[in-house]
Amino acid sequence: MPKIELKNVYKIFGEDPQSVLPLLQEGATKEEILEEKDHTVGLDNVSLSIEEGETFVCMGLSGSGKSTLIRHINRLIDPTKGEVLVDGVNVLQFSEDELLELRRNEMSMVFQRFGLFPHKTVMENVAYGLEVQGKPLEDRNSIAEDQIKAVGLNGFEHQYPSQLSGGMQQRVGLARALATDPGILLMDEAFSALDPLIRSDMQTQLLDLQSKLHKTIVFITHDLDESLKLGDHIGILHGGKLVQVGKPEEIIMNPADDYVAAFVKDVNRAKVLRAKTIMQSPETYTTKNKNSGKTLKVHENNFIEEFLPQVLEKRVVVEVIDKDGNTSGFITEKDLAQSLLTKN
């Protein structure tokens, strides 16, 4: 069962969205509905499944529907039509008390603009969700201390947000979201306001935390490099439509349409593609190559950029091995060259 599932979700903003919905279902575009009916299409028949423990990145340009989508999961926004399921349960049927319980205990959200209380210390900000849950002060402080250390802010517990840099403030926001130990973490453009170096550091820190915590993360961004770095799966939105969902290497190698192709055309593929993505099977390689020559052994999940220089310099064949050390395939110079070509 998926952890999160959206089924045929439509969202139309305006005075009478139900009257406009049939037009959208019949194929009218977002632009046509805005011009003719003065309504704005947020989501157009979006369906997706997010598995427990994965990082799902939703990306697209401004106005594509990214933030609208993520706000449906915790019902900050209700759909015009469709279903939103968490652990197989339709949250649209929740009472106010059930919805409040879901937000308090099962989900946390990290916003682009931090959303910290300026009159509270780092410790108090991080512990706020625990306070709402009614946990005793001693327990709140103990958990908050652990999360502050986890995001690298130990020593700053008694500082106020105004005394911290933007990157440090975002670390506080992340620690606060993690303190309640939610199963689902919603991150809406969480790193977009940060300087490039700080942003890269936060991305790496999130990856490190996720490798230990295995949360279900829905991450919104307009930055392709960020989505490729963080996402187990990526969903690309255009005009409210979900035009493609796939693993990073699938998005790069097989863009669904011209819009996605334009997004990915300048990507350094060596940083995205893994050895197992482009390898030949042992049988195919052996049939084609009687004299294999020297080989370089790499793990099947290694990125091409990690071994590409050695292949180009030493003219070796790459032997791809699995987690048990068994040969799962081979990569030649020709395979590498073909995989790195940018499709038009």
61-88: burial string, b at 16+ Cβ within 10 Å, e else: eebbbbbbbbbbbbbebebbbbebbbee
Do 275 and 331 meet the contact criterion of CB atoms below 8 Å apart? yes
Tens of pLDDT along the chain (344 residues) come to 899 999 999 999 999 999 999 999 999 999 999 999 999 999 999 999 999 999 999 998 888 999 999 999 999 999 999 999 999 999 999 999 999 889 888 998 887 776 789 999 999 999 998 988 889 999 999 999 998 988 888 899 999 999 998 888 888 988 898 888 889 999 988 888 778 888 888 888 889 888 888 999 999 998 888 998 899 999 999 999 999 999 998 898 889 999 998 888 888 888 888 888 889 888 888 877 765 568 889 998 888 888 888 888 888 889 899 888 899 999 888 888 888 875 43
How far is the C-alpha of 18 from the C-alpha of 39, rounded, in Å? 11
* Joined tokens for residue 320: 């791809």
Q: List, for residues 168-217, the tens digit of each pLDDT value.
A: 888 898 889 888 888 999 998 888 877 888 888 888 888 988 888 899 99
What is the pTM (predicted TM-score) of this model? 0.84
| CATH class assigned to 4-106+182-267 | alpha beta
DSSP symbols for 113-155 = T----TTS-HHHHHTHHHHHTT--HHHHHHHHHHHHHHTT-TT
Do 92 and 75 meet the contact criterion of CB atoms below 8 Å apart? yes
* Joined tokens for residue 212: 């230990």
Q: Could you give the residue range(s) of every CATH 3.10.580.10 domain in the chain?
A: 275-340
Q: Could you give the residue range(s) of every CATH 3.40.50.300 domain in the chain?
A: 4-106+182-267
Do 108 and 182 meet the contact criterion of CB atoms below 8 Å apart? yes
Closest CA to 84 of 25, 43, 137, 37: 43
CATH number, span 275-340: 3.10.580.10
* Joined tokens for residue 206: 């999130």
